[in-house]
Amino acid sequence: MKISEFQKSIEATYLKRDTERGLLGTYMWFQEEVGELTRALHRQDRDNLESEFADVLAWLSTLASMKGVDLEAAAVKKYGAGCPACGQSPCACSKK
């Protein structure tokens, strides 16, 4: 499934409810999922990582839809040619 297809699926499933909740409320849910992903990463909870990554992507997708952003197009525009700073893949920027 492409990112754009995933975003459309999330829109069909959740956009009405998320829009009714509002941007701030939906963003708070997104932040909660980022926290759950952080805990799974910290605990090295391999069984839970896939689920938490999927949840973060779903909430990010719905936020993008609420603001009229095509997530796939935005990602390709910024990262499609490699590193946005040096244009290389892998990145050739000096380490800071």
pLDDT of residue 85: 95
d(CA 18, CA 62): 7
Phi-psi region of 2 (alpha: psi -120 to 50; beta: other; left: phi over 0): beta
d(CA 55, CA 33): 6
- 31 occurs within a structural domain: yes
- 44 occurs within a structural domain: yes
- 86 occurs within a structural domain: no
- 52 occurs within a structural domain: yes
> Which residue range(s) make up the domain with 62?
3-79
Q: What is the CATH number of the domain that holds 25?
A: 1.10.287.1080
- 92 occurs within a structural domain: no
Cα dihedral value 74, 79, 85, 91, nearest 10:
160
pLDDT of residue 94: 84
Using 50 as the pLDDT threshold, list the residues of the chain that sit under it.
none
What is the reported pTM? 0.90
pLDDT of residue 47: 86
